């Protein structure tokens, strides 16, 4: 399928900043970005997230650069020799690395481990689904009146910091289509004031509560709308969590496609119920931060996630399918390459899987600067480029904008394709009811992402002088959303260990428990504590630190951890630290509180200062985030799974010193994902462990609810906690060092990530996927399996389209439409759709990528929004009774895991896969029946030969239901 050469010719004609366009060649090891150099790297880093202190977070690089310069120019003997030596050494290293890289790359070319991404052209047009038919009809009327410049405007961002939101396209003024305002991110409105900092996705996943997933999305969207945002850049279901140390796993909902799919879809529905467009991201396999995009890590190309077809379908693309089925307006393609083709230029992914197979009706937008070629990405199915700049941050040299106008005029991007791009965007706008000016007044956002001052300029990214206007109106949109934030934080807290200790009361222990405790200690030590119950709170993670917003984009780990860092973080309006909440809530007449809010653990050195303590609550954490910034040794991805800031050491010391070793210890962890707990989990006086994930602004309040038993913990782990990183298998390891010019990451483990890996290799996790304790106990009983439809191997035939995509004139517009109107006052670097001259444009026969005119057969798995409707039909229902047989009220999370029938065929199946869950609130003694609906997709695997979802028709499916992936007390078959 090598069609690089022809595609290249095409690009030469149509784009001044060209890159290779082939599906496999988008990686283009050697040409596309070759006009970038290391200076671009430094500039980009400095230019990237410039809110308050533009260069601050990249200082190390910049300082480093200065040092090398002074080294180069110094003439002083030893120093210059040393510098020359170092430079020579680096040169040799570079040559060696390059040689190795080229070798590895060549090898990869010889024996592609996962083949190459096949071509899939042309882009299926939007407008085939009944659910979008009205919106497409309206859109087609509007689009048919647009000029070429209007159309290009709608598809292209105006450039980094060229509007008040993190992304803006330009309006189609002539027809009344407004500029769209796009803003991060998955847990709140980024860069905005007076908003809610909700718990992160991983905490939402840990609630296993669909209603809360929906409610959080809805509240988030209310805030977005009231701040003037059209498109939210969330939810995030990729990364999926292949590697437990992956830097952005916390933005998503957990290491299982089913859980991610449900949580993603509920969030989409919540967001879109308010008319705000949701963006499901990042499509697909952006599983690690290292090498996720060119130059950020010093390499000219992004990593390639090499995935086999079945794994792609059953794991990584799966949750995107749920979001499409839920009607998501937009999909963001990711930075990385997939099978050696950039995700935003990968026709198999965008045209084939997303638009044909999943029947996606909205628009595909690029991640910020994830577009690496002009014509090729248009042909591959990209519909909107963000933020609009070209190959470098804030360079203003768009790969589309004027180049797209040129490409349409010279015929290299078919007008049909441009029309489809625009129609998809306009249809999404109608679909969400954003033409209602009362709900979406055609105004700019009422806040600026780039300054906290009331006044500023509209396009701070441009050096052109501009008028100062009011850019921050400080509108408070929080309403009572703190209630939802708190509920999610509390329900997302997982109780992992509890040896008769929790809950405690605000008075400490009841008189009876306190007496018994003191008697026991007296018997053991001969000493008896008197008076108030003595509690110590330990750890920097318990306290406020320097405030929640001390570091830009939350890019450091200090104070209590409420979220990870990067574009998925927000400015906290406040963050209730655990110590603040506990200080307020403990009854001072009964409890004496001591605070040790650092991790130095300077007590414990034999001075006996903790000897009096009866209960020690110790906090520790682990942070990570997006790869554009780093903290300590955490470059986006964590270097390991250990607690940070000396957390393990602190816990061990507190446990040994608390009450001279007789005190009870509660450990509380805030983390972006799994952490290892082996150093202390079996210590006898570590009686309880609360895994509070990333709780957002209501952290302390939520924790207090759980500790004091106002809320019975009901969180369950959305990932596995292993005993070592090795337990997760080779595929669980981040690639920290490049293995070539284009780093290659083969997802060789296939389906076996997280619990699927632990189950397959019979590895005992410390705490398994789905695990979580309660202050009560639950029992499951009476499983009933009710078939709804007959098993058949493949779904019903793909239906004919329910609607016809709009059609427009295919006459190439007049060149005049692309000429800069003289009356426009140009802002430097701002991306316009216009050209200064069209004299050099020639309509010609430009070569298209190989396979362009051989449309592959339409997928039998497709046919409607979300794919073949039969995939979503219920084939079997499983009912199970859940009984609270303990003494307090609480919520159970029954989970259904499916085992595929054993077959003679070579198809390999995981031991079990999650295919249902629910959350039921039960009073003591109460019983409720939960119902699991299993769809055809739930019961199928991806048949790579048939290229369709297939059910196993021989032998019984087994459905096991329980309270975790390894506590499956009841099962039935079908």
Residues near ligand BGC (CB under 6 A) are 166, 184-185, 233, 281, 367-368, 567
Query: Which alpha helices (H) appear in 56-166, and where do they start and end?
Result: 59-73, 77-110, 133-143, 148-155
Residues 395, 163: Cα–Cα separation, whole Å: 15
Shortest reach from residue 333's CB to ligand BGC, in Å = 11
Contacts of 842 by beta carbon, 8 Å cutoff, 6+ apart: 410
Q: Which of 757, 441, 469, 707 is nearest to 591 (CA)?
A: 707
Contacts of 807 by beta carbon, 8 Å cutoff, 6+ apart: none
Contacts of 621 by beta carbon, 8 Å cutoff, 6+ apart: 541, 557, 560, 561, 643, 644, 645, 647, 669, 670, 671
Q: What is the chain's length? A: 974
736 in helix, strand or coil?
coil
Q: Which is nearer to ligand BGC, 368 or 572 (CB)?
A: 368
566 and 335 Cβ atoms separated by less than 8 Å: no
Q: Which is nearer to ligand BGC, 192 or 706 (CB)?
A: 192
Residues 29, 15: Cα–Cα separation, whole Å: 19
Shortest reach from residue 654's CB to ligand BGC, in Å = 37
Shortest reach from residue 710's CB to ligand BGC, in Å = 36
Residues 36, 18: Cα–Cα separation, whole Å: 12
Q: Which is nearer to ligand BGC, 25 or 625 (CB)?
A: 625
Shortest reach from residue 288's CB to ligand BGC, in Å = 13
866 and 317 Cβ atoms separated by less than 8 Å: no
Q: Which is nearer to ligand BGC, 305 or 567 (CB)?
A: 567
Q: Is 754 a catalytic residue?
A: no
963 and 917 Cβ atoms separated by less than 8 Å: no
Count CB atoms within 10 A of the CB of residue 83: 18
214 and 267 Cβ atoms separated by less than 8 Å: yes
Shortest reach from residue 167's CB to ligand BGC, in Å = 6
Q: Which is nearer to ligand BGC, 14 or 567 (CB)?
A: 567
Question: Is residue 940 within a helix (H) or strand (E), and if so which, with residue range?
Answer: strand 940-943
Residue with tokens 């119920």: 273
Q: Which is nearer to ligand BGC, 281 or 936 (CB)?
A: 281
Beta pairing class for 920-922 and 890-892? antiparallel
227 and 446 Cβ atoms separated by less than 8 Å: yes
Q: Which of 747, 733, 863, 889 is nearest to 355 (CA)?
A: 863
Q: Which is nearer to ligand BGC, 281 or 670 (CB)?
A: 281
Dihedral over Cα of 881, 886, 892, 897: its sign? negative
Contacts of 748 by beta carbon, 8 Å cutoff, 6+ apart: 113, 730, 731
Shortest reach from residue 251's CB to ligand BGC, in Å = 8
Eight-state DSSP code of residue 967? B
Q: Which of 228, 354, 195 is nearest to 284 (CA)?
A: 354
Shortest reach from residue 565's CB to ligand BGC, in Å = 12
Cβ burial of 207 (10 Å; 0-12, 13-18, 19+) is: buried
Instruction: Please measure the distance between the N-terminal and C-terminal CA atoms of the chain and give it in whole angstroms.
Output: 43
Shortest reach from residue 185's CB to ligand BGC, in Å = 6
Q: Indicate which residue of 26, 309, 356, 367 is catalytic.
A: 367
Q: Which is nearer to ligand BGC, 139 or 343 (CB)?
A: 343
Question: Is residue 498 within a helix (H) or strand (E), and if so which, with residue range?
Answer: strand 494-498
Shortest reach from residue 265's CB to ligand BGC, in Å = 19
Residues 739, 756: Cα–Cα separation, whole Å: 27
Q: Which is nearer to ligand BGC, 236 or 353 (CB)?
A: 236
Residue with tokens 């202050």: 775
Shortest reach from residue 334's CB to ligand BGC, in Å = 8
CA torsion, ordered 535, 540, 541, 546, to nearest 10 deg:
130
Phi and psi of 657, rounded to 5°? Answer: -105, -20
Active site residues: 367
């Amino acid at each position: 399928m090598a069609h690089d050469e022809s595609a290249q010719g095409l690009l030469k004609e149509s784009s001044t900043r060209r890159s290779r366009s082939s599906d496999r060649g988008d990686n283009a090891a050697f040409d596309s970005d070759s006009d970038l150099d290391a200076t671009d790297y430094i500039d980009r880093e400095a230019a990237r997230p410039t809110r308050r202190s533009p260069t601050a977070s990249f200082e190390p690089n910049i300082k480093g650069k200065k040092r090398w310069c002074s080294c180069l120019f110094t003439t002083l003997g030893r120093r210059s020799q040393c510098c020359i030596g170092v430079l020579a050494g680096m040169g040799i290293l570079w040559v060696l690395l390059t040689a190795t890289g080229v070798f590895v790359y060549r090898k990869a070319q010889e024996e592609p481990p996962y083949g190459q991404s096949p071509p899939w052209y042309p882009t299926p047009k939007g407008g085939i689904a009944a659910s979008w038919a009205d919106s497409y009809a309206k859109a087609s009327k509007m689009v048919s009146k647009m000029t070429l410049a209007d159309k290009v405007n709608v598809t292209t961002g105006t450039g980094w910091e060229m509007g008040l939101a993190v992304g803006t396209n330009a309006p189609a003024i002539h027809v009344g289509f407004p500029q769209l305002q796009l803003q991060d991110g998955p847990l709140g409105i980024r860069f905005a004031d007076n908003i809610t900092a909700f718990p992160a996705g991983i905490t939402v996943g840990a609630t296993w509560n669909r209603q809360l997933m929906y409610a959080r999305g809805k509240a988030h969207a209310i805030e977005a709308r009231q701040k003037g945002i059209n498109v939210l850049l969330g939810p995030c279901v990729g990364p999926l969590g292949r590697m437990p140390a992956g830097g952005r796993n916390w933005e998503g909902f957990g290491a299982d496609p089913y859980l991610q799919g449900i949580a993603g879809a509920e969030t989409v529905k919540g967001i879109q119920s308010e008319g705000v467009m949701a963006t499901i991201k990042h499509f697909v396999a952006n599983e690690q931060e290292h090498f996720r995009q060119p130059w950020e890590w010093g390499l000219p190309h992004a990593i390639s996630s090499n995935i086999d077809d079945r794994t792609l379908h059953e794991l990584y693309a799966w949750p995107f399918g749920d979001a499409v089925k839920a009607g998501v307006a937009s999909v963001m393609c990711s930075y990385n390459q997939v099978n050696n083709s950039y995700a935003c230029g990968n026709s198999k992914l965008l045209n084939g899987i997303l638009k044909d197979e999943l029947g996606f009706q909205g628009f595909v937008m690029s991640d910020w600067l994830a577009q690496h070629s002009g014509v090729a990405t248009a042909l591959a199915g990209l519909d909107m480029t963000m933020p609009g700049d070209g190959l470098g941050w804030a360079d203003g040299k768009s790969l589309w904008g004027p180049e797209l106008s040129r490409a349409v005029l010279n015929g290299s991007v078919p007008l049909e394709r441009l029309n489809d791009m625009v129609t998809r965007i306009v249809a999404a706008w109608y679909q969400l009811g954003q033409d209602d000016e009362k709900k979406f007044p055609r105004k700019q956002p009422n806040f600026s992402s780039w300054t906290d001052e009331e006044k500023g300029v509209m396009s701070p990214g441009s050096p052109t002088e501009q008028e100062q206007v009011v850019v921050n109106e400080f509108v408070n949109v929080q309403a009572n959303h703190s209630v939802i934030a708190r509920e999610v934080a509390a329900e997302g807290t997982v109780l992992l260990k509890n040896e008769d200790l929790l809950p405690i009361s605000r008075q400490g222990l009841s008189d009876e428990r306190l007496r018994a405790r003191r008697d026991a200690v007296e018997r053991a030590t001969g000493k008896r504590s008197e008076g108030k119950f003595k509690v110590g709170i330990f750890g920097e993670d318990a306290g406020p630190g320097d405030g929640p917003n001390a570091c830009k984009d939350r890019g450091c780990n200090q104070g209590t951890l409420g979220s990870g860092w990067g574009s998925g973080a927000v400015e906290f309006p406040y963050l209730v630290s655990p110590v603040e909440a506990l200080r307020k809530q403990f009854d001072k007449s009964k409890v004496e509180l001591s605070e040790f809010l650092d991790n130095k653990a300077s007590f414990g050195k034999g001075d006996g200062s903790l000897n009096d303590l009866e209960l020690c609550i110790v906090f520790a954490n682990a942070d990570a985030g997006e790869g554009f910034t780093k903290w300590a040794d955490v470059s986006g991805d964590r270097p390991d799974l250990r607690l940070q800031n000396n957390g393990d050491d602190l816990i061990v010391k507190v446990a040994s010193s608390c009450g001279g070793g007789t005190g009870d210890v509660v450990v509380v962890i805030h983390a972006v994902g799994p952490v290892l707990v082996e150093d202390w989990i079996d210590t006898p006086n570590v009686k309880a462990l609360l895994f509070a994930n990333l709780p957002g602004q209501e952290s302390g309040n939520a924790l207090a609810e759980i500790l004091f038993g106002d809320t019975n913990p009901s969180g369950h782990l959305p990932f596995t906690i292993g005993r070592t990183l090795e337990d997760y298998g080779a595929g669980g390891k981040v690639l920290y060092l490049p293995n070539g010019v284009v780093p290659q990451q083969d997802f060789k483990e296939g389906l076996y990530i997280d619990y699927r890996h632990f189950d397959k290799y019979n590895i005992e996790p410390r705490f398994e996927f789905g695990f979580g304790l309660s202050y009560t106990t639950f029992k499951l009983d009476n499983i009933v399996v009710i078939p709804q439809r007959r098993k058949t191997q493949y779904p019903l035939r793909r239906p004919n389209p329910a609607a016809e995509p709009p059609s427009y004139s295919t006459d190439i517009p007049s060149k005049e439409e692309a000429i800069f109107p003289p009356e426009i006052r140009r802002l430097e670097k701002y991306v316009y759709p216009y050209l200064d001259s069209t004299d050099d444009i020639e309509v010609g026969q430009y070569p298209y990528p190989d396979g362009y005119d051989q449309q592959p057969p339409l997928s039998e798995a497709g046919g409607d929004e979300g794919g073949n409707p039969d995939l979503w039909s219920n084939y079997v229902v499983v009912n199970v009774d859940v009984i609270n047989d303990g003494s307090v009220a609480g919520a159970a999370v029954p989970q259904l895991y499916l085992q595929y029938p054993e077959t003679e065929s070579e198809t390999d199946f995981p031991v079990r896969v999650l295919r249902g869950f629910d959350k039921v609130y039960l009073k003591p003694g109460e019983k409720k029946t939960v119902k699991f609906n299993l769809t055809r997709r739930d019961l199928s695997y991806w048949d790579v030969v048939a290229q369709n979802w297939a059910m196993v028709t021989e032998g019984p499916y087994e459905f096991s239901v329980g309270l975790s992936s390894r506590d499956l007390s009841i099962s039935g078959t079908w």
